[in-house]
Amino acid sequence: MENIENNISRRKFVKLTGLLSAALAVGYYIPALGREPLLINAEEASHLGIDLNAWISINSAGKVTIINHRAEMGQGSFQSVPQIIAEELEVNLGDINILFAPGNHKKYGDQTTGGSSTIRGSYKMLLSLGAAARMMLIQSAATKWAVPTNECYAENGHVVHRSSQRKLNYGALVLDASKLEVPKDLQLKEIKDYKLIRKPLLRQDIPNKTSGQTIFGLDKKIPGMLYAVVERCPRFAGTVKSFDDSATKLVAGVKHVFKIEVDVFGSKRHGIAVVAENLWSAMEGRKALKVTWDDSQFEHHSSKQLYEKMHEMLKEESNISKAKGDFNTAFSASNKKIKAVYETPYQAHSCMEPLNFIAHYQNNKIELWGPTQQPDSVQNTVSEKLGIDLENVIVKMTFLGGGFGRKAFDDFPMEAALISKEINAPVQVVWTREDDTSIGPFRPGMTYQLKAGLNSDGNIAAFETKMTGQNMDLQNKGANKSKSNHSLGEGFPKPYLEAIPHYSFGDKHLESAIPVMWWRSVYSSTNAFAYESFLDELAHAAEKDPLDFRQAMLPDARFNEVISTLKEISGWKSRGKKSGYGVALTECFQTLVGQVVKVSKKADGKIKIDKVWVVMDCGWYVNPDIIRAQIEGSIVMALGAATKHEILFEDGKAVHQNFDTYAMPRINDIPEIEIQIINNMENAGGVGEPALPAFAPALTNAIFDLTGKRIRKLPFNLDEV
């Protein structure tokens, strides 16, 4: 451990959380200066005065506890993380308890659950943690028996001596094991030897969720807790001119009514907080509130105006984010020239659990509980805005009823913190479904102008993208508005860029008071619709098979396996002419996805989606059942965004308020879905988001194949095609 001692400053001795009840604890220390995490045990960590990050512990009864620093929002991390640890540690999943880590960036590193990063960002560390603990336990048993370690092996929470079949429970070994140094050369299993990983094991969190025992944010209660709702300006950037709360204060149970301001991307979102003894009273008090807003300082956009602006901006010179060769010259010299404009809508996140958070401020210390995808960011934001020392801001995660990026923002926890400090009491702030749908932030709507030139062989000689819409990174005041959108290539398979000799990707930022932010698969959800639809147009212009056309530009071996598998399972080569088959290929969060959609006409002439075939190459993976569930959920969400719902604006306000107008897909809308997961040894990619972007273009390409009608604007009504 000399390297660690030489590179950290000595601090006052600190006890690790839970160390007193754990006989063996192994975890990671993240050094300064961006160095790789170091694997050490709790005794070494205590000696050095540092905190362990992302650690496991085993007590004298053999029970294993894992500290999970990321959120569980339905994506399955509370199954996948223990499954990884149990594999290398050689224990039963039933002997593992998993706990949420509190928000603490310094200790746990980046705690953001987003970008499908939980497994792909930590699986190697988790495997190493399990293997290190196993090897330390084996060494302890070998020492007890006075035998070489290679004569011992771990199995089912025990160390076994191979020749004599003597065995010791982990609980009997952890005390001695805790005094050992962590092995330097870890012996990880080969994939062929996995007993748990890559097996479709049933999720252990499901029984408690179905029986109602799981604590989501809305379920959390603390003694003396009050409830708050906030009346916010419906036009996003308005301020409170005046308000009359006389009728509100007559509502039984209402305790407080006051102004509140929360930072949203560098601007203030103004509102009136109504605090009551119960949620119903708070909501009724809010209805009785009379507020006059000043919303004269910004344009009151309608959707029509927004898209007219975006289309006009397509005529302007773009901010180039990436380019190769000379597009203009190559395009001019092309044999065929194709141009198209695509349009995607604003979307709400519509998590089944509306936004909520609890805060309890007392004596310059605050505790917060709730469904957050980013507890470390909440801790930092509350500390900064309230002027409270970081160590006095305690953020505890609950389970999330959906996140999709919305719960990775700090605005709603900050509301709870501000209200609790104002009333000096614990409070839970709750957003109604109407708040959740109409206030935002939203997925930004986008327009794309695509141009391409084909050479005499029908191959792409030149390719240009111009995108207009709100750039999520340029909302803060003082941001460089001429900066290009670095996410313009999201969803576009990287090998395409190698195959196209001349290309240009550029964008123009649309200024608007409407707040926008990440939505499942981020820009890939809009980019892929434009790119993969346009590639289909190019394939038809070249008079080539759409899938063969793409495969010719994808010499990458992994993409070729995806395409070959997709052809096989969908029967692509045996399909008839104009038979309603569409394809799309995307690359999202280091995962490759191919989808084929089959459509047909019902007896009444309306379009019906018959089946979706999905091939996913996410590299190293844990549980195929979880992957299938995430793919199915992605397709349902993509279907809704393509054919059912959009957020429209009139006079600077969102039109849609609830599910009566922002319609969700119903079970009878969902087609059969067949999924094939590629097995390989590549680095892990994402799973929760990558299956969403390919669906919309595969669907509209299938409709073109069947009907000859090219759909370039989302959403569209299947019954009206």
**pLDDT, average across residues 144-171:** 97
Higher local confidence (pLDDT), 710 or 106: 710
Strand ranges of the sheet holding 672-677, from the earlier edge strand across to the other edge:
581-588, 591-601, 607-617, 672-677
Q: Is the pLDDT of residue 36 over 90?
A: no
Residue 543 per-residue DSSP state: T
**pLDDT, average across residues 62-75:** 91
Q: Please, what CATH class does the domain formed by 2-209 belong to?
A: alpha beta
Token readout for 657 is 């308020």
**Given this model, what pLDDT does residue 647 score?**
98
pLDDT in tens, 408-465: 999 999 999 999 999 999 999 999 999 999 999 999 999 999 999 999 999 999 999 9
Residues belonging to the chain: 721
Q: How far apart are CA 121 and CA 109, in angstroms?
A: 11
**pLDDT, average across residues 469-482:** 90
**Given this model, what pLDDT does residue 15 score?**
38
- What are the phi and psi torsion angles at 68 (to 5°)? -100, 120
Do the beta carbons of residue 339 and residue 450 sit within 8 Å? yes
Domains 217-297+355-430 and 314-347+442-720 share a fold: yes
Q: How far apart are CA 711 and CA 704, in angstroms?
A: 8
Do the beta carbons of residue 95 and residue 203 sit within 8 Å? no
Rounded-to-10 torsion of CA 74, 80, 83, 87: 180
pLDDT in tens, 613-641: 999 999 999 999 999 999 999 999 999 99
Neighbours of 651 (CB within 10 A): 11
Categorize the per-residue pLDDT at 476 as very low, low, confident or very high, splitting at 50, 70 and 90.
Answer: confident
Number of H helices, E strands in the chain: 19, 28
Categorize the per-residue pLDDT at 30 as very low, low, confident or very high, splitting at 50, 70 and 90.
Answer: low
Angle 83-85-88 from CA coordinates, rounded to 5°: 105
Q: How far apart are CA 188 and CA 180, in angstroms?
A: 19
Helix H or strand E encompassing 370? strand 365-370
Name all contacts of 174-177 with Cβ < 8 Å and 24+ positions apart: 174/22, 174/23, 174/24, 174/58, 174/59, 174/60, 174/62, 174/137, 174/140, 175/23, 175/24, 175/60, 176/140, 176/143, 176/144, 177/23, 177/24, 177/133, 177/136, 177/137, 177/139, 177/140
Q: How far apart are CA 271 and CA 257, in angstroms?
A: 10
pLDDT in tens, 481-493: 889 999 999 999 9
571: left (phi over 0), alpha (psi -120 to 50) or beta: left
Q: Is the pLDDT of residue 277 over 60?
A: yes
**Given this model, what pLDDT does residue 12 score?**
29
**Span of 122-126, 131-135, 357-361 with lowest mean pLDDT:** 122-126
Q: Is the pLDDT of residue 522 over 70?
A: yes
**Given this model, what pLDDT does residue 22 score?**
55
Angle 230-231-232 from CA coordinates, rounded to 5°: 105
**Given this model, what pLDDT does residue 52 score?**
66
Q: How far apart are CA 651 and CA 295, in angstroms?
A: 11
Mean residue pLDDT across the chain: 93
**pLDDT, average across residues 287-298:** 95
3-class SS at 530? helix
Q: Please, what CATH class does the domain formed by 314-347+442-720 belong to?
A: alpha beta
**Given this model, what pLDDT does residue 404 score?**
97
First vs last C-alpha separation in the chain: 68
How many C-alpha atoms does 62 have within 13 Å on its Cβ side? 18
- Residue tagged 């792409």 (tokens): 460
Facing residues of 653 across strands? 650
Helix H or strand E encompassing 154? strand 152-155
**CATH T-level fold of 217-297+355-430:** Aldehyde Oxidoreductase; domain 4 (3.30.365)
Q: Is the pLDDT of residue 11 over 90?
A: no
**Given this model, what pLDDT does residue 149 score?**
97
**Given this model, what pLDDT does residue 28 score?**
76
**pLDDT, average across residues 242-267:** 96
Examine residue 690 and say whether the peptide bond preceding it is cis (omega within 30 degrees of 0). no
**Given this model, what pLDDT does residue 6 score?**
31
User: Distances from the Cα of 681 to the Cαs of 110, 198, 506, in angstroms?
Assistant: 26, 12, 35
pLDDT in tens, 661-708: 999 999 999 999 999 999 999 999 999 999 999 999 999 999 999 999
Q: Is the pLDDT of residue 339 over 90?
A: yes
Do the beta carbons of residue 572 and residue 583 sit within 8 Å? yes
Do the beta carbons of residue 663 and residue 645 sit within 8 Å? yes
Q: Report domain extents, the chain.
A: 2-209, 217-297+355-430, 314-347+442-720
**pLDDT, average across residues 151-162:** 97
Q: How far apart are CA 254 and CA 279, in angstroms?
A: 10
Do the beta carbons of residue 555 and residue 720 sit within 8 Å? no
**Given this model, what pLDDT does residue 40 score?**
79
Q: How far apart are CA 215 and CA 206, in angstroms?
A: 12
- What are the phi and psi torsion angles at 173 (to 5°)? -110, -15
- Residue tagged 């990050």 (tokens): 53
Q: Is the pLDDT of residue 10 over 60?
A: no
**Given this model, what pLDDT does residue 3 score?**
33
Higher local confidence (pLDDT), 475 or 146: 146
11: burial class by Cβ within 10 Å (0-12, 13-18, 19+)?
Answer: exposed
Q: What percent of the chain has pLDDT over 90?
A: 87
**Given this model, what pLDDT does residue 477 score?**
79
Token readout for 238 is 């308005």
Q: At what angle do helices 695-707 and 524-541 cross, to 10 degrees?
A: 30
Do the beta carbons of residue 463 and residue 497 sit within 8 Å? no
**pLDDT, average across residues 288-310:** 96
> In this structure, is the dihedral angle defined by the CA atoms of residues 494, 496, 498 and 500, taken in order, positive or negative?
negative
Categorize the per-residue pLDDT at 35 as very low, low, confident or very high, splitting at 50, 70 and 90.
Answer: low
**pLDDT, average across residues 226-231:** 98
pLDDT in tens, 658-670: 999 999 999 999 9
